[in-house]
Structure 1
Amino acid sequence: MFPEPENKATFYQYRLLKKKNIPRSVVNSYLCLPVVMLLFNLLAFPWTSLFFFVLAGPLTVWIHYVIARTILLSVGSSYVKRWQWSFQMPWFGYIPSQHFSYRMFARVHLNLSWIGLCIITICLIWSPLSFTISLIFWHLWLLVPRLYVLAALSRQRKDGLIKLNPQDVSYYLQ
């Protein structure tokens, strides 16, 4: 008989189905978009639009966090443990930190996109136009990489696992 190891580790067998690389030039172009939008705001609206643009960024990140966390908690508390804050581009915000179900990823982000747009639409009634445009920009800017993942993997099997890495997106089957 073989002696049992002291620490019993669990080994997972994942088969890579698709790996989508994200070129550095795309990430750099993506990072330039807020600067372009800020210039547009300063040209189209009064100088106070600078304040609204800066305020809309963290507010949108917070809205995304609240919506995503609420969806994850409604499904089960075990999902929440797999998500964390990321400050790496293009995955800025509250994202899965390890392998995560494609179906759950799609559910969270599709609901996040629609609920976020509904909240921004409600804000349209009471807030200035430059603030609402800034909210819409940050909302879409944060969601584009995640929706890109869903579009890139749309033809794959839906029972796989997604792993977000700084330079690529990997799609595995267990």
Structure 2
Amino acid sequence: MGRELTKALCESILDVMTQNDKVVLVGADLIKTDGLKAVIHTFPERVVNVGIAEQNMAGVAAGMASYGMIPIINTFAAFASRRICDQVAISICYSNQNVKIIGTDPGITAELNGGTHMTFEDIGVLRSIPNIMIVEAADSIELKQMVPAILEHKGPVYLRMYRKSTPRVHEENYQFKRGKAY
């Protein structure tokens, strides 16, 4: 079994926030749950928790992006697609805002939270919206490289990821390339 993806995500976000002071983290009460507690402690002035208000999270991120910030928002994949669909389509993608959306626990992996937190249609919903790039990491090695790569992309990105450990797929020398399937 490979590494827990939330640990790789936290390390990657800390790295990109250290290198670029325009990167901010906006969450809807899941920042700690998604393993990002270290980001709060390291960059408290660059973390915004809007509470359980996913639509507001997307709107806040779109506003921040329109002023040159690079917001990373995170929530369950079901909420990142269904609950904030209109805000993603209009506030983020229509104006091609540089917002990075992280949707965690896709499919049935949010089993403890019940059916409202599960999604099989997140990619289908978001793929129908112009201007958005969609990526999903196979393992922690790919995720660690994917986060800086999506931040280099100018425009909206949806990163779909599991929170738990996944089998190791890639070797340590693996190099992620946007737009290439493996």
State the TM-score, normalizing by the size of structure 1.
0.27
Higher relative contact order (CA 8 A, sep 6+): 1
Larger Rg: 1
Q: Could you tell me the TM-score, scaled by structure 2's length? A: 0.26
